[in-house]
Amino acid sequence: MATRIQAILLLQVILLIIPSSHAAGIAVYWGQNGNEGTLTQTCSTGKYSYVNIAFLNKFGNGQTPEINLAGHCNPAAGGCTTVSNGIRSCQSQGIKVMLSLGGGVGSYTLASKSDAKNVADYLWNNFLGGKSSSRPLGDAVLDGIDFDIEQGSILYWDDLARYLSAYSKQGKKVYLTAAPQCPFPDRNLGTALNTGLFDYVWVQFYNNPPCQYSSGNINNIINSWNRWTTSINAGKIFLGLPAAPEAAGSGYIPPNVLTSRILPEIKKSPKYGGIMLWSKFFDDKNGYSSSILKSV
């Protein structure tokens, strides 16, 4: 009897020691639809472990950077500083909040290594641990920077990653995350991912027919997943999906297919980190995260 009690106590101790951050979770993009609720409301659902604020979609090559949060607020008039309340609320629940660079629409590029350094300094001073009189989202300190680079130059993103990562030495770690397209290697982010500096990589397994799910066929997505998880040096890798059929041109996976056929396969990888969803707005409409959360 005593041995059994000791075993139970040992198990409890082990469970306390294992950090909860190793548990798989759902990452979501927030910011591109004013009808998706506030950042505070997004995190209070209890569904998400990571939130990417989308997007800083104008920067580089000497441009004055601009953030676009669609119908949420107008940054030009300083109207987005209240987002700091949401950032702090999310972080108090253990949710990591990143600023996402790029997106499908915008004017962004990196013109040189020194341009990458300028952008890194701007991000540090305006969104991370630095100081600036014009912080667009207020004084809250974000956890890191997400690279959703889908256009512009294919050069210098590795330099930007190195410069941002170097700021971790000043105290709080700067997390680096990325959302490459599933064809491997990613045209824009391949070199940056090769730095080995990225903590979370949420691969977009949609709008890319050769490496996504299509009506009953899971082979392409599983093969692509296996290639990603065995080829890049990153902390954790996530399966990026549209949260509703209308959230992407193609690649939507019905929740029952994901939970019964795909998750059991991809969870075999020690690199598995969870699921990324585009986006909070479409997740609200379709209830996708609610139907898969227990299986992630």
Active centre residues (catalytic): 150
Q: Which residues contact 54 (CB under 8 A, 6 or more apart)?
A: 29, 30, 31, 32, 69, 100, 103, 148, 279
Q: Judge contact between 147 and 178, C-beta under 8 A.
A: yes
State the Cα–Cα distance between residues 40 and 63, nearest whole angstrom: 31
Sign of torsion, CA 3 8 12 14? positive
What are the angstrom distances between the C-alpha of 214 and each of 66, 75, 201, 206? 37, 39, 22, 10
Element holding 40 (H helix, E strand): helix 39-44
Number of C-beta neighbours around residue 3 at 10 A: 7
State the Cα–Cα distance between residues 83 and 73, nearest whole angstrom: 9
Element holding 181 (H helix, E strand): none
**Any idea how long the chain is?**
296
User: Is the backbone peptide bond immediately before 134 cis, with ω within 30 degrees of 0?
Assistant: no
- Helix axes of 113-127 and 157-166: crossing angle, nearest 10 degrees: 40
